[in-house]
Amino acid sequence: MKLSCIIIEDEPKAMSLLEEYVLRTPFLQLSGQFYNALDALHYLNDNNEVDLIFLDINLPELSGMDLAKSIQPHLKIIFTTAHSDFAVKSYEVNTIDYLLKPITYNRFFQAVLKARSITEKEVSLQMEHRSPSHIFVKSGRKIIQVNWEDIFYIEAVREYISIVTASQKVMVYKRMAEFEAIQPEHFKRIHNSFIVNLDKIEKVEDNLVYMHGRELPVSKSYKDAFYTAIKDRLI
């Protein structure tokens, strides 16, 4: 399992060091780097695939602590700071760990292992509660039953996912990664914004999947796994 992460740090040297540490760690994927909290907040509002944030506390305009109180609670935070006096206060928000500068790779690695372990437990718990034939999803004030076999595809729409069937589109306040954790084997991710039901595909041509009146793109990062799944069904 890879964790998508961003770094929010206003010191260039500290930013470079954290970038080096992230790139050195096989199960981390660097999705963004920001020198102030406001730019990061705009990014987080438009991208629901981030799992982990490396967050400096002393930032211009908006502090790291204030940012932490403004983001979605599922986001995991590792604070990075030169000041130990924020340690107790940091645990008022969804903090995985608190790293004091200068940060060694050994201490960094301990923190991200903790983040990965917590994420794996969450995914495992979700898988234990999945249904073989259907799911219940909360959409607004409604709880709707959706059969897996009725789903054509799932599309990421800002901080929501849209579950598309022949008769309806159900908007759910979830991330794509959360859906991937419970989906059956015949559902495959083909793009950051799309998961498809292999049983519903009409044709595949020029890295486009045709289904339910749509042309859905297959991105480079998911291409190999998707075509392997298709190949397994090829006659």
26 falls in which pLDDT band (50, 70, 90)? very high
Between 131 and 178, the more confident residue is: 178
> What pLDDT is stored for residue 48 in this prediction?
78
pLDDT tens digits, 118-145:
888 887 766 665 546 888 888 888 889 9
**134-231 belongs to CATH 2.40.50.1020:** yes
| Of residues 90 and 78, more confidently modeled | 78
pLDDT on residue 38? 94
What percent of the chain clears pLDDT 90, i.e. is strictly above it?
Answer: 57
Is the model's pLDDT at 85 over the cut of 70? no
SS (H, E, C) the chain: CCEEEEEECCCHHHHHHHHHHHHHCCCEEEEEEECCHHHHHHHHHHCCCCCEEEEECCCCCCCHHHHHHHCCCCCEEEEEECCHHHHHHHCCCCEEEEEECCCCHHHHHHHHHHHHHHHHHHHHHHHHCCCCCEEEEEECCEEEEEEHHHEEEEEEECCEEEEEECCCEEEECCCHHHHHCCCCCCEEEEECCEEEEHHHCCEEECCEEEECCEEEECCHHHHHHHHHHHHCCCC
CATH number of the domain at 3-128, out of 1.10.3720.10, 3.40.50.2300, 3.20.20.30, 3.40.630.30? 3.40.50.2300
Domain boundaries, the chain: 3-128, 134-231
* pTM (2 d.p.): 0.58
pLDDT greater than 60 at residue 88: no
Q: What is the pLDDT of residue 122?
A: 80
Query: Is residue 94 pLDDT above 80, yes or no?
Result: no
Q: How many residues does the chain have?
A: 235
Here the tokens at position 132 are 């073989």
